[in-house]
Amino acid sequence: MAPQKPSAARNWSDFAGYFAAIEKAKVSVNLLSYIGLGQVREYVMGDDDRAPTADELSKMTALVSEEMKHGAYGVATGLIYSPNAYASLDELIALSKPAAAAGGLYASHLRYDGDKLRDGLEEAIAIGEGARIPVHVFHLKVTGAKNVGRMKEVIAIVEAAQKRGVEIAADQYPYVASSTGLIQTIPPWAHEGGNAKLVARLKDPATRARIRKEMDDPNPTWENRLISAGTWHNVQIASLPARTGMETGYKRFEGWRVDDAAKEMGRDPYDFVFEMLIANGGSVSCVWFIIDESDLKLAMKQPWVSVGSDGSALATSGPLRTGVPHPRNFGTFPRVLGKYVREEHVIPLEQAVHKMSGLTASQLHIKDRGLIKDGMAADLVIFDPATVADRATFTDPFQYPVGIPTVIVNGRVVLDNGRHTGERPGVVIRGRGVR
């Protein structure tokens, strides 16, 4: 999802400062954070589509080592996004090694989860083996109509790696749609230099024609979200920047399918998309209906797949209510408990609860949380199995769930009868490499 505007000025530039700011402000939930290798690459190399020099690789490695000492939990990548997409396997292994030495994890949004999903998964496993680091796959899924049923293949690959001694696990959200930027329909080379350069390329007729041609290639070398979607009708506009969205008139299309919005404007869908990206500086978030229910359910049954929202901290009112975002921000966990446990019996209640607590803690190597046991932190969610349910939908996502009256964090009641108490007992959970 698009980043939210911070409520306070950032006066920090590393994890030590970030964690100190969180602790000073006080929060209601616990927090841990990874080093974004895309941010490390951008800091040292900019948005260049090339391999790093030996000196640049050394600088990036040193940054990872330093931030692990500050309490980062590991390293993370989003390999469909620039500049992460420009990193090679060797680079990713090199940057993961200092995290491994500090007891961290490698977590990743895979480079591919569609036609080339095997390549994406095997790359993550190769990083785990090459750097000797535990691997966590963010929001495991199989995308695209022609890939329906391939979750069986994913499971076989993961379990084979586990038998070889690779520590690999994953999380998932319980929806048949994902969410990411509209620019993920644009080939990676056009992203080099950042969004400003991307917009400039879209304004150039010859380059724009080349981009459109590559978007229609049925066998792309990159993860083209349009190929996974199949048609523009499976792409729903989620959010645009408030200022440019209002000024250019595109903000009214939040919640619309792309083809319907293009028709309303009397435009070809491709031209509509290009013009909307240009008008909003490349910042347009979308919801993508690209996942099949059968693959989702099969993944949910696996003992190494936990539950994760891949969402943002939003609210039903105020500055954190914007656009028509993915309902996962409000409904992920209650949706599992209501729809997939109580209504459809995909997994038993005990397994679902474990996937949200003990399994998550064990995957992250957190020793003092995730279980109700003497000596463990008192993080508890009180819910009614008979009524717990999500209410957020793809057209009306700003709805809190029902059936969850109480939330306790570190022994203090944060949510009481569905209302925030004002308590802020959350803590920063630092990685094992902290010094």
Phi, psi of 60 (to 5 degrees): -65, -40
Close Cβ partners of 398 (under 8 Å, ≥ 6 residues apart):
314, 315, 316, 321, 330, 392
In a domain, 119, yes or no: no
**Beta pairing, strands 105-109 & 74-78:** parallel
Please state, in angstroms and rounded to a whole number, the distance separating the CA atoms of residues 415 and 409. Answer: 9
Helices 293-300 and 151-163: crossing angle, nearest 10°?
A: 30
- Rounded to whole angstroms, the maximal C-alpha distance in the chain is 66
pTM of the entire structure? 0.95
In-domain check, residue 246:
yes
For residues 387 and 144, what is the distance between their CA atoms, to the nearest angstrom? 33
The residue-averaged pLDDT of 262-291 equals: 98
CA proximity to 432, closest of 75, 134, 166, 68: 68
Mean pLDDT of 382-397: 99
Tell me, yes or no, whether 240 lies in a domain: yes
What is the arithmetic mean of pLDDT over 96-107? 99
Confidence label for 8 from pLDDT (cuts 50, 70 and 90): low
Whether the CB-CB separation of 115 and 144 falls below 8 Å is answered with yes
Which of 2-6, 126-130, 218-222 reaches the highest mean pLDDT? 126-130
Question: In 70-203, which ranges are continuous DSSP H helix?
Answer: 89-101, 117-131, 151-163, 195-203
State the total domains in the chain.
Answer: 1
Q: 230: domain range?
A: 179-289
Give the whole-angstrom CA distance, residue 330 versus residue 353.
17
What DSSP element (H or E) covers 63? helix 54-69
pLDDT at res. 5: 45
In a domain, 190, yes or no: yes
Q: To 10 degrees, what angle do helices 269-279 and 258-265 make? A: 90
pLDDT in tens, 47-87: 999 999 999 999 999 999 999 999 999 999 999 999 999 99
Joined together, the tokens standing for residue 11 give: 């006066």
**CA–CA separation, 247 and 228 (whole Å):** 31
* pLDDT, mean of residues 292-305: 99
Question: Is 192 part of a structural domain of the chain?
Answer: yes
- Asked if residue 12 belongs to a domain, the reply is no
The β-bridge relationship of strands 412-416 and 419-420 is antiparallel
Cis geometry, peptide bond prior to residue 218 (ω within 30 degrees of 0)? no
Side-chain-side CA neighbours of 350 within 13 Å: the count stands at: 0
